[in-house]
Amino acid sequence: MKVKIALAGNPNSGKTTLFNALTGSNQFVGNWPGVTVEKKEGKIKGYTAKGEEAVLVDLPGIYSLSPYTLEEVVSRNFLISEKPDAIINIIDGTNLERNLYLTTQLTELGIPVIAAVNMMDLVRKNGEELNIERLAKDIGCKVVEISALKGEGIDQLAQRAVAIAKSGKNVQPAHRFEGCVEHAIAHIEEAVTGHVDASMERWYAVKLFERDKKVQESLKLDKVTLDHIEEDILSCEKEMDDDAESIITGERYNYIGSIIEDCYKKRVKEQMSVSDKIDRIVTNRFLALPIFALVMFAVYYVSVTTVGNFLTDWTNDTLFGEWIIPAARSGLEAIGCAEWLTGLLVDGIISGVGAVLGFVPQMLVLFLFLAFLEGCGYMARIAFIMDRIFRKFGLSGKSFIPMLIGIGCGVPGVMASRTIENDRDRKMTIMTTTFIPCGAKLPIIALIAGALFDGAPWVAPSAYFVGIAAIVCSGIILKKTKMFAGDPAPFVMELPAYHLPTVENVLRSTWERGWSFIKKAGTIILLSTIFVWFAQSFGFEGGSFGMVEDMDHSILAAIGSAIAWIFTPLGWGDWKAAVAAITGLVAKENVVGTFGILYGFGEVAEDGAEIWGSLAGSFTQAAAYSFLVFNLLCAPCFAAMGAIKREMNNIKWFWFAIGYQTILAYTVALCVYQIGTLATKGTFGIGTVVAFVLIVGFLYLLFRPYKERGGSYLER
């Protein structure tokens, strides 16, 4: 026997923590059919008899079952069409009023529901009391107290959820609306009888009363029936002097208010919570940004410059430089392996992939910090802080959520833009999300900071803020065009209470992100390094094709030399740097892998000579930072470009986005190099003049008056 249980709840209610606690490592991730919203499922172990199976489906975090966001559509489509055997509704005990709104809708679906009131440890700590028995009676379903973070009540919840799912006993909603509303809903229920499952008649009736377009379309009722329903709705609206949707919303909150009054006892003396005290500082209008900058500086300083740098240096210099590569070369030569095969395995695969894997320790340290900041609730505050800033520059605060996700990988970051309802805001977010340095760009940042800036602590954090600056400036400039004119969409989100995340959840999040990077190194990057090795090892030399002694005669050198002139104004017109930047379009980690092959990672002396010394001699610091900026802002990897194409759903918009990113990257990199060279060496030339002209033009676009206009240059 197999039962399917859905896990539903508001964002930041502890849903992910509960899902991990119930399923452990028995989970798998994919996408919901037809959309790019993440779908997580897992098996609940230890609470089923032999031959039985309980599958838990983690629905996207939602506030209601109204079809306003993609998450809400996905969740309610699953509940209606799949009709799971039970629903676990996780409720934040510190914010009952907001969370119970979804509960009142779930209990109308005719599916067994069990409510898991989370964060009860915080409720008790705040000196508040919740009468579980009364709450269960008021909402009409079983209720269990839990603390997902501390693992309290998890066993009891799992046992009851599985038992309820196997029983098949439907829950009946305990709440009833005002007289005229109930009268209208009763009439609508009669109208839908025979069209829907009997257990779901009330939910459909309420949705029809709200004039839910998707429900109306799905039922395909005849015009006479729809007209009768509309008469009932209009009669109720006239009596209550409000529109139908607002009437239902108000009725739900009136009911929720009566529940809280009946079963929730607040502390007598109103005291400021610990989270409120912290927020008075970290979300302060004047202190919020400096604190955010300091936090990100500390994160990157530890990840890239100190602890992470020490681990990466050991991995590069000792593990690969002194142990793996020399041992592999000696072993292959000892067994008489062909020269070309030795070159492929050592100089191509091990050197290229090894150069990338050498930066895994830094990435894991960074991901560890980010997982902690997300788990403790600080990242939610950053979204709130950035909303105040973004809105001033024409961007929605919702744009920052995809950018936070994009720190791990640009692909899910771009996909997360689907939560933005406003089409213009969504397109702008898609275009700018990849400006934030993702995990794949961290090796480039670490390489430039370590090899070319002597590990200067400001380089890595500056890369992060260059990305934010590019987003803000893009928002200002693009909002003044016909394509993006208009007010940004409103942004509403819950701020969870601060808490210490569990070690298990932090380590799981760190490992998932790190493993994703390692898998890419074993697939895309492996194939890329093989191609780079072949192209730099073979060519025409002495009138014939074969392995070349001088790399300048290789196929790769010919390709690189043909395009290197494009990057000369940026300070790195050498063919090796040009090739590295181009291979970065396949996967950003390839930049480091390509340098590892071209600058002789496999030829490191066993006395521990600096691995990247030859690279450092090929760049000035102005050119190095120009190279870094270009690779941070230009078109992302192929996978992210594919995500942009899917989300734009229009080839013209796709090429506009890629073109904008590349042109902006080239412009900024040119200005960085030309002005940097003028400041450090006093060099002045035609490139410097062009840079100043570009800066003046950029400032004009930035500060020119805003004019609201309609229309669009790029129509679907």
* In the predicted structure, residue 603 carries a pLDDT above the cut 50: no
* In the predicted structure, residue 605 carries a pLDDT above the cut 50: no
Helix 621-633 vs helix 459-478: angle between axes, to the nearest 10 degrees?
Answer: 50
pLDDT of residue 267: 64
One-letter amino acid of 359: F
CB 185 within 8 A of CB 236: no
Query: Tens of pLDDT along 452-496?
Result: 888 888 999 999 899 989 988 988 888 888 888 776 655 666 677
* In the predicted structure, residue 232 carries a pLDDT above the cut 80: yes
CA distances from 377 to 116, 128, 301 (A): 21, 22, 21
CA distance linking residue 499 with residue 24, whole number of Å: 21
CA distance linking residue 342 with residue 333, whole number of Å: 7
CA distance linking residue 120 with residue 90, whole number of Å: 12
Q: What is the DSSP letter of 704?
A: S
* In the predicted structure, residue 560 carries a pLDDT above the cut 70: yes
The whole-chain average pLDDT of the chain stands at 84
pLDDT of residue 714: 44
CB 242 within 8 A of CB 250: yes
Long-range contacts made by residues 387-392, C-beta under 8 angstroms, separation at least 24? Answer: 387/491, 388/285, 389/289, 389/472, 390/472, 390/475, 390/488, 391/488, 391/491
β-partners of residue 181 are none
DSSP string covering 558-623: HHHHHHHGGGGGGT--SHHHHHHHHHTTT-TTHHHHHHHHHTTGGG--TT---TTHHHHTT--HHH
Q: In this structure, are 159 and 35 located in the same domain?
A: yes
Q: In this structure, are 475 and 614 located in the same domain?
A: no
pLDDT of residue 6: 95
Helix (H, G, I), strand (E, B) or coil at 113: strand
Comparing 605 with 643, the larger pLDDT belongs to 643
Q: In this structure, are 54 and 163 located in the same domain?
A: yes
- Phi then psi for residue 554, to 5 deg, are -80, 165
* In the predicted structure, residue 31 carries a pLDDT above the cut 70: no
Supply the CATH number for residue 196's domain.
1.10.287.1770
CA distance linking residue 574 with residue 585, whole number of Å: 18
pTM for the model stands at 0.67
Ramachandran quadrant class, 624 (left: phi over 0; alpha: psi -120 to 50; beta: rest): alpha
- Residue 324 structure tokens: 């793996």
Q: Residue written as tokens 């379309």?
A: 217
CA distance linking residue 696 with residue 701, whole number of Å: 9
Residue 491 is assigned to a structural domain of this protein? no
* CB neighbour list of residue 356: distance below 8 Å, 6 or more residues apart: 443, 521, 525, 589, 590, 592, 593, 596
pLDDT of residue 607: 33
Can you give the C-alpha Rg of the chain in angstroms?
A: 29
Helix 244-263 vs helix 96-106: angle between axes, to the nearest 10 degrees?
Answer: 120
Question: Over pLDDT 70: what percentage of the chain?
Answer: 91
pLDDT of residue 149: 84
Residue 716 is assigned to a structural domain of this protein? yes
Q: In this structure, are 16 and 97 located in the same domain?
A: yes
Mean pLDDT of 406-421: 74
* In the predicted structure, residue 711 carries a pLDDT above the cut 50: no
CB 94 within 8 A of CB 123: yes
Residue 303 is assigned to a structural domain of this protein? no
pLDDT of residue 494: 64
* In the predicted structure, residue 505 carries a pLDDT above the cut 90: no
* CB neighbour list of residue 100: distance below 8 Å, 6 or more residues apart: 91, 139, 256, 259, 260
Rounded to a whole number, what is the distance in angstroms from the first to the last CA of the chain? 49
Q: Residue 357 — pLDDT band, cuts 50, 70, 90? A: confident
Residue 98 is assigned to a structural domain of this protein? yes
- Residue 659 structure tokens: 């073109």
Signed CA dihedral, 539, 542, 545, 546: sign only:
negative
pLDDT of residue 29: 62
Question: Over pLDDT 90: what percentage of the chain?
Answer: 31
CA distance linking residue 117 with residue 41, whole number of Å: 21
Last residue of a domain, one of 127, 147, 167: 167
pLDDT of residue 643: 81
Q: Choose the weakest-confidence range: 242-256, 347-361, 371-385, 536-550.
A: 347-361
Q: Residue 713 — pLDDT band, cuts 50, 70, 90? A: very low
Q: In this structure, are 137 and 258 located in the same domain?
A: no
DSSP string covering 515-557: HHHHHHHTTHHHHHHHHHHHHHHEEEETTEEEE-SSGGGBHHH
Q: In this structure, are 55 and 128 located in the same domain?
A: yes
Q: In this structure, are 534 and 449 located in the same domain?
A: no
Residue-wise burial string across 682-698, b where 16 or more C-beta atoms lie within 10 A, e elsewhere: eeeeebbeebeebeeeb
- Strands 38-43 and 27-31, by their bridges, are antiparallel
Supply the CATH number for residue 68's domain.
3.40.50.300
Query: Tens of pLDDT along 667-704?
Result: 999 999 999 999 998 888 999 999 999 999 999 988 88
CA distances from 451 to 305, 444, 633 (A): 12, 10, 21
User: Count of CB atoms within 10 A of residue 394's CB?
Assistant: 23
Q: Choose the weakest-confidence range: 25-29, 233-237, 308-312, 415-419.
A: 25-29
Strands (E), 428-517: none
Query: Tens of pLDDT along 268-314?
Result: 555 677 888 898 999 888 898 899 889 988 988 888 788 887 888 78
Residue 396 is assigned to a structural domain of this protein? yes
Q: In this structure, are 419 and 458 located in the same domain?
A: yes
Last residue of a domain, one of 588, 618, 648: 618
Helix 555-564 vs helix 575-583: angle between axes, to the nearest 10 degrees?
Answer: 90
Quick one: 341 exposed, middle or buried, by C-beta within 10 A (0-12, 13-18, 19+)?
A: exposed
Residue 502 host element (H or E): none
Q: In this structure, are 482 and 461 located in the same domain?
A: yes
pLDDT of residue 481: 84
pLDDT of residue 604: 37
Q: Choose the weakest-confidence range: 49-53, 161-165, 587-591, 649-653.
A: 49-53
User: Count of CB atoms within 10 A of residue 150's CB?
Assistant: 16
Residue 309 is assigned to a structural domain of this protein? no
Residue 576 is assigned to a structural domain of this protein? yes
- Strands 113-118 and 86-92, by their bridges, are parallel
- Residue 519 structure tokens: 């898998």
The domain in which residue 63 lies consists of 2-167
Q: In this structure, are 193 and 214 located in the same domain?
A: yes
H-type alpha helices, 241-338: 244-263, 274-282, 288-300, 307-313, 325-334
Residue 196's Cβ-side half-sphere holds a number of Cα atoms within 13 Å equal to 25
* CB neighbour list of residue 650: distance below 8 Å, 6 or more residues apart: 714, 716
- Residue 492 structure tokens: 């509403």
**Number of domains composing the chain:** 4
Q: In this structure, are 557 and 698 located in the same domain?
A: no
Q: In this structure, are 130 and 193 located in the same domain?
A: no
Residue 365 host element (H or E): helix 360-376
* In the predicted structure, residue 88 carries a pLDDT above the cut 50: yes
* In the predicted structure, residue 708 carries a pLDDT above the cut 60: no
Last residue of a domain, one of 137, 167, 197: 167
Residue 15 is assigned to a structural domain of this protein? yes
Q: What is the DSSP letter of 210?
A: T
Q: Residue written as tokens 């400006």?
A: 435
